[in-house]
Amino acid sequence: MRGGANPSGSSVNIAGVAHEFRRANMVTRALDPLDLTIAAGEFVAIVGPSGCGKSTLLRIVAGLLRSSAGAVEVAGKHVAGPQTEIGIVFQSPVLLDWRNVLDNVLVQIELRGMDPARYRDEALKLLAKTGLAEFVNRMPRELSGGMRQRCAIVRGLIHDPPLLLMDEPFGALDALTREQMRIDLEKLWLERRHTTLFVTHGISEAVALADRVVVMTPRPGRIDRIVEIDLPRPRNKETIASAKFSDYCEEITECFMRRGVIQY
């Protein structure tokens, strides 16, 4: 199941990327130099404690933040500014309050100067796939948090980006919604095989979704370990309940215990 399956997915090459935040005279090291290569079509999850710089790394890959050192290449091209060949999803759905669900998805198309009418059917299809078929004409305030986040995910995917960046996209959701979203996201990924970088602090969520789980140390963040997840897809109930699945979770939990992130 490892990457390369999708020639349209972008590879990501992170070389020696480090970051520090300067405010007044304080310098906070957020990320220590870090190397990571993500193959085209691969699903990589980054797991780490709060403040380990995982969101910072994602923003650097998106070109929304300039790293203090090192370089990122997406699809072989050096990242020098905001990337447009990506889809991005944050922890909060950040929808536009004055647009209904469908138009919130299509804003992605409009802002790109493409014709929204041509993407309408695709948007409706994706919304249906994420359980929003009956809600396409609703306004964001009429939706539950989970529905809003689904809408944000569809907005991140509608233009079929070769790279999807997700920053704790399920972080604000309840456990049941999370599980369903996880299943839906895997389905979409299996169909499209866009390269995905998924930042989370949920260990089992990372194991359930990713081809590889990158485990980060506490700040300043470094890669502690990379765990290859060799589980069949789609990852169904049996997979999640398997001994192998819990072994992976165990392995990552132990990384955090060693660093004192989790203490018993």
Partner 1 sequence: MNALLAWSRRRVGPLAVFALLLLAWEYGVWLFGVKEYLLPPPTKVWVEFLKRAPTVMDAAYVTSRQLLAGYLLSIVVSVPLALLVARSRFVEESVYPVVVFLQIVPKIAIAPLFIIWLGFGFAPKVIIVFLLCFFPIVVASVAGFKSVDPEIADFARTTGASEWKLFRTIQLPQALPDIFTGLKVGAALSATAAIVAEFVAADRGLGYLLLQYNGQFETAMVFAIIVLLSAIGLAVYYAVELLERLAIPWHVSQRPAGVTGA
Q: Which residues bind partner 1 (CB under 8 A)?
A: 59, 62, 64, 82-84, 86-88, 90, 92, 94, 96-98, 107-108, 110-113, 139, 141
Sheet containing 223-228, strands listed edge to edge, beginning at the edge strand earlier in sequence: 86-89, 163-167, 195-200, 43-47, 212-216, 223-228
- The neighbouring-strand residues paired with 43 are 196
Q: Smallest distance, Å, CB 88 to partner 1?
A: 5
**Shortest gap between Cβ of 91 and partner 1 (angstroms)?**
8
Identify which of residues 61 and 206 has a Cβ nearer to partner 1 in the complex: 61
Q: Report the Cα 4 to chain-centroid distance in Å.
A: 18
Q: Give Cα 169 to chain centroid, integer Å.
A: 7
Residue closer to partner 1, measured from CB, 87 or 146: 87
3-state secondary structure 149-204: HHHHHHHHHCCCCCEEEEECCCCCCCHHHHHHHHHHHHHHHHHHCCEEEEEECCHH
Question: Minimum CB separation from partner 1 for residue 58, in Å?
Answer: 10
164 or 255, CB closer to partner 1?
164
CB of 100: closest distance to partner 1 in angstroms?
A: 9
User: Which lies closer to partner 1 via its Cβ, residue 98 or residue 264?
Assistant: 98
Measured from the CB atom, is 7 or 113 closer to partner 1?
Answer: 113
Rounded to whole angstroms, the Cα distance separating 208 from 249 reads: 9
State the nearest-atom distance from the C-beta of 96 to partner 1, in Å.
7
Task: Determine the distance from the C-alpha atom of residue 146 to the mean position of all C-alpha atoms in its chain, rounded to a whole number.
Answer: 16
The candidate with the shortest Cα–Cα distance to 87, out of 174, 3, 152, 20, is 152
Distance CA 106, CA 110 (A): 6
- Least Cβ distance, residue 140 to partner 1 (angstroms): 9
- Single out the residue of 103, 14, 105, 92 nearest to residue 60, CA to CA: 14
**Residue 67 structure tokens:** 């790293």
In whole angstroms, how close is the CB of 131 to partner 1 at the nearest point?
Answer: 22
Judged by beta carbon, residue 108 or residue 130, the one nearer partner 1 is 108
Task: Answer yes or no: are the C-beta atoms of 29 and 219 closer than 8 Å.
Answer: yes
- Closer residue to partner 1 (CB): 160 or 250: 160
Q: 40 in helix, strand or coil?
A: coil
The residue among 190, 207, 191, 194 whose CA lies nearest residue 246 is 207
